[in-house]
Amino acid sequence: MKRFLFLSMLVFLVFMIWMSVHEKENNTPVVQKLERAMRLTRMKEHHDNDYDYCVRYPSFFEQTPDSLLDKGCSRFSFWQDSTEIVQTAFVEENADSLTLDQAMAKYASALHATRQQKGDGFFILSGHIHTDNGAITSRRFRAKFVKHRKLWFVQTLVYPEDCEQAMKRLIREIDGWKVW
């Protein structure tokens, strides 16, 4: 009888501990869950067959089927509660044959970038997303443009401002992105 009582108490104790941990996880804000997930997740790699480039993205992001996108475009997203994060990669013609400096100035102005960084054959822009009438939103962007002949290979990330810390790993992936 004592053994049964002991086992019952042990099972009850284990159950209560599990419930408290499980309940705590459910009450954890999405931003904190996302930060933890980004630290622990493995990265998947998507290969674009049209332009032969690769993009790495978190394994818990959902990939939009290529058939729904333009040629050479990839889209990966995460959505929970009101938190949406979108990572895209696409290829754009450099129809005006812009130099790196010209393109950086053009896109920085169009996107209202607050940070610009130029490297060898690429540039990176970041800042807040603006509404159509120019108001600043609580969403941010990061974009890397890589020049190759008459093409721009572009990878972007759009995320809520309060997820900045959680996005550091993915931002490093984009900043270090090499098309080939």
What is the model's pLDDT at position 23?
46
What is the model's pLDDT at position 5?
46
Q: Reply yes or no on whether the pLDDT at 17 is more than 80.
A: no
Q: Which class does domain 30-175 fall in?
A: alpha beta
Q: Reply yes or no on whether the pLDDT at 87 is more than 90.
A: yes
What is the model's pLDDT at position 47?
94
For the chain, the domains span 30-175
Best CA proximity match to 142, nearest among 162, 151, 123: 123
CA angle, corner 27, sides to 169 and 160, nearest 5?
40
SS3 content of the chain, % helix, strand, coil (to 5): 35, 40, 25
Local confidence band at 2 (pLDDT 50, 70, 90 cut-offs): low
Local confidence band at 15 (pLDDT 50, 70, 90 cut-offs): very low
What tens digit of pLDDT does each residue of 19-75 get?
455 545 567 888 899 999 999 999 999 999 999 999 999 999 999 987 677 899 999
Asked whether 125 and 116 are in contact (CB, 8 A), the reply is yes
Question: Residue 98, Cα to own-chain centre: how many angstroms?
Answer: 27
What tens digit of pLDDT does each residue of 122-135 get?
999 999 999 988 88
Asked whether 51 and 153 are in contact (CB, 8 A), the reply is yes
Asked whether 118 and 108 are in contact (CB, 8 A), the reply is no
**pTM for the structure as a whole:** 0.81
What tens digit of pLDDT does each residue of 141-180 get?
999 999 998 999 999 999 999 999 999 999 999 999 998 7
